[in-house]
């Protein structure tokens, strides 16, 4: 029986929502951190160049997180991961803004950081500069392999009915391992980026942000506990 694209998306979303209620509670908690943080800042308080660049990177990443969740719910895992990679890159750029003025100049003043007149960033180098080379080798490299056309991408696109088949999925469908892979990177890197949202709040907010920091710490702990439980469940899968 032929299935339409809309029917396939709805089926994938229904299964995903039913099978992973805890994940969506964690995602909702993380998204609330962003929204409440934005509300505490106030747009008129963003003045310094680094704060402006941080704000742009964080807001853009929040939009990417929202869209990524929508895509993974519907079975578009490679596309969801491509948006998560934007968040990963934003985290590295935020972590280097204070040390590397070329980032601020490129984003805020359209000044290219290469003699060719182009702006490109070496994310491995930037990650190393902020002491995050292991994180780069794990999260960023995996996100790239998942997003770019590779053997991993081909596996994600292969029909789950027969893993050895050469047939590719035209319409999306739910895949547990692909969904979990997206969720782990989304939650881990989405929360990593909130460390800079927290610093931004400390710098510019005119309100008391202690409660926000407390909620952020609790959210990180919840995700760590969830990730720890996953290791046992998916150890041999």
Q: Tens digits of per-residue pLDDT, 120-133? A: 888 999 999 999 99
**From CA 36, how far away is CA 38, in angstroms rounded?**
5
Average of per-residue pLDDT across 26-51: 88
Q: What is the pLDDT of residue 157?
A: 65
Question: How many CB atoms sit inside 10 A of residue 131's CB?
Answer: 9
Sorted by where each begins, the domain ranges of the chain are 5-232
Q: What is the pLDDT of residue 207?
A: 83
For residues 107 and 117, which has the higher predicted lDDT (pLDDT)?
Answer: 107
Is this prediction's pTM over 0.85?
yes
For residues 177 and 119, which has the higher predicted lDDT (pLDDT)?
Answer: 177
Do 123 and 87 contact (CB within 8 A), yes or no? no
Q: What distances in angstroms separate CA 204 from CA 70, 105, 110, one per listed residue?
A: 31, 21, 24
pLDDT digits (tens, 9 = 90+) for 141-172: 889 887 777 666 666 666 554 556 666 677 88
What DSSP letter does each residue of 89-148 carry, written as one string?
HHHHHHHHTTT-HHHHHHHHH---SSTTS-----HHHHHHHTT-HHHIIIIIHHHHHHHS
First to last CA, the chain: 30
150's tokens: 């590779």
């Amino acid at each position: 029986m032929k299935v339409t694209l809309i029917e396939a998306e709805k089926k994938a979303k229904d299964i995903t929502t039913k099978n992973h209620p805890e994940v969506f509670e964690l995602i909702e908690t993380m998204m609330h951190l962003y929204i409440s943080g934005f509300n505490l800042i106030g747009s008129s308080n963003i003045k310094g160049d680094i704060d402006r660049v941080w704000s742009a990177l964080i807001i853009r990443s929040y939009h990417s997180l929202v869209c990524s969740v929508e895509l993974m719910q519907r079975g578009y895992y490679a596309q969801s991961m491509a948006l998560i990679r934007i968040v990963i890159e934003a985290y590295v750029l935020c972590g280097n803004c204070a040390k590397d003025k070329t980032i601020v100049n490129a984003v805020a003043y359209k000044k290219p950081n290469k003699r060719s007149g182009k702006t490109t960033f070496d994310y491995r180098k930037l990650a190393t500069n902020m002491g995050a080379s292991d994180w780069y080798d794990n999260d960023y490299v995996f996100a790239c392999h998942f997003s770019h056309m590779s053997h991993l991408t081909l596996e994600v696109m292969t029909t789950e009915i027969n893993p050895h088949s050469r047939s590719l999925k035209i319409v999306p469908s739910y895949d547990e391992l692909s969904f979990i892979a997206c969720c782990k990177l989304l939650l881990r890197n989405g929360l990593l980026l909130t460390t800079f949202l927290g610093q931004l709040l400390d710098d510019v907010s005119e309100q008391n942000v202690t409660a926000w920091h407390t909620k952020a710490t609790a959210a990180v702990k919840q995700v760590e506990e969830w990730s720890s439980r996953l290791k046992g469940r998916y150890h041999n899968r």
